Amino acid sequence: MDSVSIVAMASIITAGICMGIGAIGPALGQGRAVQGALSSIAQQPDERNSLTRTLFVGLAMIESIAIYCFVIAMILVFANPFWVYVVKKAGG
Amino acid sequence: MEIVGIDQISPDQVIFFTWGLITINATLVYTWLIMGLLVIGSVAITGNLSSERTMSRWQNMLEVIVGTIRQEIADVAKEGADTYFPFIGTLFLFILLSNVFTFVPGYVAPTSSLTTTAALAIVVFFAVPIYGITKNGILEYVKEYFRPTFIFFPFHVMGEFSRTLALAVRLFGNIMSHEKVIAILLAVTPLFFPVVMQALGLLIGLIQAYIFAILAMVYIASATQTHEETEHNQKKETGPVKI
């Protein structure tokens, strides 16, 4: 197998693994956060507005970890620096 | 109609024309379009405000928007909400408009480019110490970095940088990933399903604009709130919980 196909294969497989494993943690975290917020709203419906605002900010914080993984996966697939390097080397 | 190809992750790569050293790409064009729309719209609407019993529809719309933003800021900032209103309101309206216009064919959100979001995050990065120093003085502001002990100083500094990075990458990642998802769906299942995802995109754009503005407000509020104030607030006893 030449180096171009090795780099392509490694990038694609790593992108998939990165997204897959990276989504586990934020998914669990968001589930717990929503669960806590829902039970709080059920106990104190008057505080719904501030609870919802805090929930959204917290969810954005948790979600950003999954977004980092996604950005890295996108870079690996679409804007891989090693890919450009290897193609330049192979081309001459 | 997609002007960003499926293999391009940023509208920076879509170049309209080059003139010497100046390169005009899609991000620049649409950023200026949004800015012009905001400025012209605001000037046109606020030109004939009325305090009579009847007012124009546009004024009514603007009052609702401005009132909601002010209320949200007041909820977070507790005091001096009008000081932060121009900054936070501008951030929110700009991001909201640039996200929401994605349903227009041929448009690509400037926030789906890392350059735009990095610029916005850097603005927030500098706004936090500026607001903090003007409110509490430079000594009180620097003291916050050494609480509770001086060991925490590097962590505070690291936090400043990492949250700026997070602010930029979060907005960029959300909007860019959404555009990519729609581009992929258009290739796989055309016609119906991408429309549903576009509708979801409006919601995502709204939430991301809200989150960006509210996070900027939270950062500024944490810098302007002195330590004594926080302790004072915590001492307030809350009433018994009614179930």
Distance, CA of B208 to CA of B158 (rounded, Å): 24
CA distance B44 to chain A (A): 33
Taking the CA atoms of B141, B147, B150 and B155 in sequence, report the sign of the dihedral they define.
negative
Q: How much is the pLDDT for B121?
A: 94
Distance, CA of B30 to CA of B4 (rounded, Å): 13
Q: At what angle do helices B57-77 and A48-78 cross, to 10 degrees?
A: 90
Give the mean pLDDT of A59-80: 83
Domain ranges of chain A: 3-91
Indicate if the pLDDT at residue A1 is higher than 90.
Answer: no
* Closest A-chain CA to B166: A64
Interface test mutation site (partner A, options B8, B170, B178, B204, max chain A beta carbons within 10 A): B170
- Reduced to 3 states (helix: H, G, I; strand: E, B; else coil), residue B236 is coil
Regarding predicted confidence, which is higher, A92 or B10?
B10
Assembly ipTM: 0.71
* Closest A-chain CA to B207: A56
Q: How much is the pLDDT for B9?
A: 73
Distance, CA of B30 to CA of B28 (rounded, Å): 6
Residues in chain A within 8 Å Cβ distance of B210? 56
Distance, CA of B207 to CA of B15 (rounded, Å): 29
The residues with which B17 forms a beta bridge, in sequence order, are B24
Place of tokens 């400025």: B39
Q: With a cut of 70, list the residues of chain B below it in pLDDT.
A: 1-2, 6, 226-243
Domain ranges of chain B: 11-46+56-226
Distance, CA of B139 to CA of B133 (rounded, Å): 8
Which one of 3.30.10.20, 1.20.20.10, 3.40.50.300, 3.40.50.2300 gives the CATH number of domain A3-91?
Answer: 1.20.20.10
Q: What is the pLDDT of residues B159-212, one digit of tens each?
A: 899 889 888 988 998 888 888 888 888 888 878 888 888 888 888 888 889 889
Distance, CA of B111 to CA of B121 (rounded, Å): 11
CA distance B173 to chain A (A): 6
CA distance A59 to chain B (A): 10
- List helix spans (H) across chain B: 26-46, 57-77, 81-100, 114-136, 138-143, 153-188, 193-224, 227-235
* Closest A-chain CA to B218: A57
Average per-residue pLDDT for chain A = 87
Q: What one-character-per-residue DSSP string does B75-104 give?
A: HHHSS-HHHHHHHHHHHHHHHHHHHHGGGS
Helix (H) or strand (E) holding B25: strand B22-25
Instruction: Tell me if A57 and B214 make a contact (CB, 8 A cut-off).
Output: yes
Instruction: Tell me if A67 and B177 make a contact (CB, 8 A cut-off).
Output: yes
